[in-house]
Amino acid sequence: MSFSGEELDEFKAESLELLENAEKQLLSIDSGGDFRAAFDATFRCFHNLKGAAGMMDLENLQVHTHKLEELLMSFKEATSMPKPYVTLFLRGIDASRILIDGGVVDFSYDVEGDGAASTKPPATRDTQVPKAPAIRTPELSAEAIDEFLSECEEIVERVSANLQAMEAGGETGLAVKSRTDDIYRDIHSMKGSAFLYAYKKLGDLTHAMESSLEKIRHETHLPSKELLNALFRSLEIIDQYIQLVRSKTDRSTLDLLIPNMENVLNICAVNLPLNFSGTGSIAKPPVSAPIALQAPMTPQLATTSSMRDAELYETTKMSDENFSLPSTKDIHQPIVNKESEGATSVRVPISLLDNLMTLMGEMVLVRNQVIQFANKSDDLEFSSMSKRLNVVTSEIHEEMMKTRMQPIGNVLTKFNRVVRDLSQDLGKQINLHLHGTETELDKSLLEAIKDPLTHIVRNSCDHGIETPEARRKSGKTEVGNITIRAYHEGGQVIIEIQDDGKGLHRDAILQKALEKGLITQAEVPTLTEKQVFNLIFEAGFSTAAKITNVSGRGVGMDVVRTNIERIGGTVELASAAGSGTKTKIKIPLTLAIIPALIVNSGNGTYAIPQVRLEELVRVEQSSATHRVEIVHGVPVFRLRGNILPLVDLNAVLTRENRTDYRDGTLNIAVLNADQFSFGLIIDRIQDTADIVVKPLNRLIKSLQIYSGATVLGDGAVALILDIPGIAKVARLETAAARAIETSEDLAEKAKASSEVQDYLIVRLNSPTKHGIVLGFVHRLEEFRRSEIEYSGRLPVVRYRDVILPLISANEHLGYPPGDSSSTFVSVVVIKKKDALYGLMVDEIMDTLSTAADLDSKINAHSGIFGCLNTPQELIVVIDPFDVIERQYPNSKQQELYPAPSLASGPEAQPVDGQFPKIPATILLAEDTAFFRKAIKAVLEKTGYKVVCANDGQEAMDLLADPRNTFDLIVSDIEMPRLNGFQLAEAIRKHHTHGKLPMLAVSSRADIHSMEAGLKAGYDRYLEKLKPTILLSAVSELITKARKAA
């Protein structure tokens, strides 16, 4: 029998889904999950696949799955399954996949391995397909029964609809065949489930229904009116049966009717009209007329036919007279308000979704063109329509993206099988832990990362995890662990693969790299740890002592990096000898349509993916302090105390008009190149837009600075910049390292070990300058005095669709009112949680970065933190939150960073009720008085007891005192005597305090500092001025430590 390509594709897709589900259930049994639920699900998968294979005339697959089903039924009374049998069934699933693809397998159904001898083999069964498997007596859960009944109801609804269409006629050939196959498949599925759930009578009836369709399926006979009536009557019985089971009502009456209905179906099947024409048309004789054959009959044949017709008529008549279904009114069942259940999903070809996404991209391009034209037009109606088009297009784009997004668990869960098989082959004990399987990713990217992830996991099993004996000798547990985490961060998907194996050895990597000629002996001392580990991604590199069938040939990690970078991602590796290896992969959410910053350089237009953009900076070269400087020929810029290496886009593009650093204004886009940040100097910033990514010619892409191209709204073509590629071409990593090494030439060594704090300098009606911590500032604004209104006696101004309360800094600090004759008022906007407040000052002057300590003893006035004694002058630091609190004492908004003066002691209520009060004592190591007081206030206000240390050495002294007991250590990084890194390393080596949770808080939150902090021993590394994140981390670490204890 022949099937269409579409039918074969549908069968293959459904079969592979069944096998994948069966594999998951078997792995669940292997790991000690719910045996009964997993057994039932696995049996259903095998049974349904067997039926589907029979329907598609795939005899080999049908026989194979039937044998697997029989073996599985041997465990129907069991409560567990030996591992050798789990392995056997998993191999059987692999063989099924080969058979589905049209291959040939020589499969042994005997159990192999050491566990086979102690395992009782399954009982031998008849090789024929059983009509009714033995009834299982164990109790089934209510959830499982409800799921079964719901499935039966759906099948009844589908079969009924198909029978009605068949009865209506009008279909011929393949249409009739397809509809009959659908009916047969549904009834077969119900039969298998009925026997599995021990509803024997229901299974017998569905078996009879299934058998009555056999001749029609093989196109030797035509369906008759009598058979259709019998099938409809059978569906009524099934529907009534389901209601009785749901209501737990006696169904003995139906049990007596079912054998009679089976006889009717058998007789109808015997008397089906022959299909001489082969067209598959439905025979529709009148109801009262006898069944007419479609060929001339001899008298003897006519007589025989008449006898059969009479017998059938009498049997059907008797059946109708005696066939009285119990009325639903007579059934005492609970009233269920059941909603109509419609189809919630539909299968569509992937090619259709790809075409829709392509058209969506073209629609975005047209949208961009319309918006650009509308911006130049004076037609208000057209402008309004273009805005509406923009909104609708964005919404359609978002919904379209959802159709392509799939949970990454679809790939990650497959590694359960990979790890299990490899652990057995390698003689190791390995557990796989998956986190974030619900994280969604574009389907095309999901397919692209499958092979790289598989290679990394196999490497972890083979090279990373040690044998049980080796782990015992090194003081580890015999069972190794591989953990895969997936999560969203900064518009990207991060995948981390970490094992607790032997890790990588720097010396072994360097030795192999020297042997391969990848580096020279002179380069060895200059290589950082990250650069050493990156050598693993070179082609042909391998430190394996021997080549196995798993890995060791040196082919793979270079392909992993190539494949990841091809989809716009990055891969990096970190390891500690003896502790394990961590591979971190970053990939974009999608490659189809991305938000981008449009810039100009020379006469060219370029697009920068916004996922790589951190911030935009405009630099006036006329400034004496904030200007681009040249260090060893490399342009750098001091951005908030950090040295930012710069790349001139004109220079990368080898243009003649290079940027002049001596004078003028420079536009800098601060970009993230994964391992570090750098600034890209551009001529002009044009706009932002959603762009459609188009592929590039291979020759252009080989330049490494472009990742694609796009068409802008005006029809111009813009090349998309490859940010990591630009960093490589410019050799930025080496240049950045040189610039950082020489940063001491740009800053005084005395300040190198101190922490720099940024302030906004303002002028009030006072001879002394005032400052506000820059981290507290939300925005800087300037309003006309005429725009200021009053709510009662309080000044307010309408600001971005909200009412902004204004507070006079002069008034609250006791200074005379400022000059009221000026046209404009300078306002510093402060955010307290979700509320905005405006602090009116006389003038916004400048910003100041200083490492000077804040002395709070000089001035204890309300609304003032303290004073800064800089070499040039004294600066009074304003406490904006205290000012706001005094102006609006009834405000219940949480402070963005509560001021020290607001601390109310250990018995204070939790901040905004977000964090539970956990009795705990925290050791805070912080050398800066301002931060020490501020952080202490945040912690104490939430209910913690805080003990302060002025530096790392003092913290160690407090830990050494046996009278002190701490639950958590919170430490700054840059401190005198003993800095935060040294403190963490010392604590981790301490035999008593080595397991204390530690949290680092620092104003240096770049990726290098964070990695160094985690490597030193901190559990978390946070940026300062983030109170909500700080409190969340403190609560999490204390709770986790107490659970572990």
Averaged pLDDT, 792-815: 88
Q: What are the respective helix, strand and coil percentages of the chain, to the nearest 5?
A: 45, 20, 35
The structural architecture, per CATH, of the domain 136-284+291-329 is Up-down Bundle (1.20)
Specify the CATH number for 593-744; select among 3.20.20.70, 1.10.3720.10, 2.30.30.40, 2.30.110.10: 2.30.30.40
pLDDT at 336 over 50: no
Torsion angle of C-alpha atoms 206, 207, 213, 215, degrees rounded to 10: -170
Q: Pairing mode, if any, of strands 480-489 and 492-499? A: antiparallel
How large is the average pLDDT for residues 405-413?
88
Q: By C-alpha distance, which of 692, 716, 683 is closest to 599?
A: 683
Residue type, 1001: V
Structure-token pair, residue 483: 């953990």
Q: What's the per-residue H, E or C state across 654-706?
A: CCCCCCCCCCCEEEEEEEECCCCEEEEEECEEEEEEEEECECCCHHHHCCCCE
Distance CA 72, CA 192 (A): 14
Of 108-122, 681-695, 729-743, give the range with the top mean pLDDT. 681-695
> Architecture of 1-130 per CATH?
Up-down Bundle (1.20)
Mean pLDDT of 983-999: 88
Please say whether the beta carbons of 624 and 638 come within 8 A. Answer: no
pLDDT-derived band at 11 (thresholds 50, 70, 90) equals confident
- Exposed, middle or buried, 79 (CB in 10 Å: 0-12/13-18/19+)? exposed
Residue 328 reports pLDDT greater than 50:
no
pLDDT tier for residue 828 given thresholds of 50, 70 and 90: very high
pLDDT: is 200 or 869 the higher one?
Answer: 200
- Could you identify the residue written with the tokens 């209905």? 261
Cβ neighbours for 102, distance < 8 A, ≥ 6 positions apart: none
Q: ∠ CA 158-164-168 to the nearest 5 degrees?
A: 150
Q: Is residue 614's pLDDT more than 50?
A: yes
Q: Are 478 and 437 in contact (CB under 8 A)?
A: no
Q: pLDDT: is 299 or 213 the higher one? A: 213
What's the order of all strands across the beta sheet hosting 480-489?
Answer: 430-435, 480-489, 492-499, 580-588, 570-576
List the structure tokens of 615.
């911030």
Q: Which of 57-61, 476-480, 508-512, 715-719 has the highest mean pLDDT?
A: 476-480
Q: Which residue shows structure tokens 């083999």?
A: 121
766: nearest Cα among 842, 871, 827, 847: 842
Backbone angles phi, psi at 1028, to 5 degrees: -65, -45
How far is Cα 958 from Cα 472, in angstroms, rounded to an integer? 36
Residue 296's pLDDT is 35
Query: For residue 631, what pLDDT is reported?
Result: 56
Burial class of residue 769 (count of CB atoms within 10 Å of its CB; 0-12, 13-18, 19+):
buried
Q: Residue 645: what pLDDT?
A: 84
Q: Rounded CA gap, 570 and 561, in Å? A: 7
In the predicted model, is pLDDT for residue 833 greater than 50?
Answer: yes
Are the C-beta atoms of 122 and 132 separated by less than 8 Å?
no
Residue 707's nearest CA partner among 724, 690, 686 is 724
Q: In 774-931, which ranges are E strands?
A: 777-784, 789-791, 794-799, 802-808, 824-832, 835-841, 843-850, 854-855, 864-869, 874-878, 921-925
pLDDT the model gives residue 597: 93
What is the arithmetic mean of pLDDT over 64-75?
Answer: 88
Neighbouring C-beta atoms of residue 649, cutoff 10 Å: 24
Please determine, for residue 921, whether its predicted confidence score (pLDDT) is greater than 90: yes
CA–CA dist 126, 455 (Å, integer): 43
Average pLDDT over residues 195-219: 85
Across residues 218-224, what is the average pLDDT? 83
Write down the pLDDT at residue 134. 36
d(CA 278, CA 148): 38
pLDDT given at position 468:
92
pLDDT above 90: residue 498: yes
Which CATH code is given to the segment(s) 408-588? 3.30.565.10
Confidence of residue 670 (pLDDT cuts 50, 70, 90): very high
* Structure confidence at residue 320 as a pLDDT band (50, 70, 90): very low
Beta bridge partners of 831: 836
Residue whose C-alpha is closest to residue 266's, from 326, 324, 315: 315
pLDDT for 870 equals 77
Answer yes or no: are the C-beta atoms of 629 and 637 closer than 8 Å: yes
Indicate whether 481 pLDDT > 50: yes
Q: Please name the fold of domain 903-1044.
A: Rossmann fold (3.40.50)
What is the C-alpha to C-alpha distance for residues 601 and 655, in angstroms, rounded to an integer?
9
pLDDT at residue 425 in the model? 86
Distance from C-alpha of 357 to C-alpha of 116, rounded to nearest angstrom: 53
Q: Which H or E run contains 757?
A: strand 757-763
Q: What is the pLDDT of residues 733-789, one digit of tens each?
A: 554 444 444 443 444 333 444 456 788 999 998 888 899 988 788 889 999 999 999
Long-range Cβ contacts of 85-88 (<8 Å, 24+ apart)? 85/111, 85/119, 86/26, 86/27, 86/29, 86/30, 87/112, 87/113, 87/424, 88/112
The verdict on domain 751-887 having CATH code 1.10.357.10 is: no
Taking all residues of the chain, what is their mean pLDDT, rounded to a whole number? 78
Q: What's the token pair of residue 966?
A: 């701490």
Looking at residue 300, its pLDDT comes to 37
DSSP 821: T
pLDDT at 622: 74
Is the pLDDT higher at 755 or at 376? 376
Give mean pLDDT, residues 938-945.
85
- Can you tell me the distance from the alpha carbon of 843 to that of 765, in angstroms, rounded to the nearest whole number? 10
Residue scoring higher pLDDT (289 or 15)? 15
Which residue has better confidence, 931 or 345? 931
How much is the average pLDDT of 30-50?
87
Which of residues 633 and 1042 earns the better pLDDT score? Answer: 1042
Q: Which of 319, 314, 308, 324 is nearest to 272 (CA)?
A: 308
Q: Is the pLDDT of residue 318 over 60?
A: no
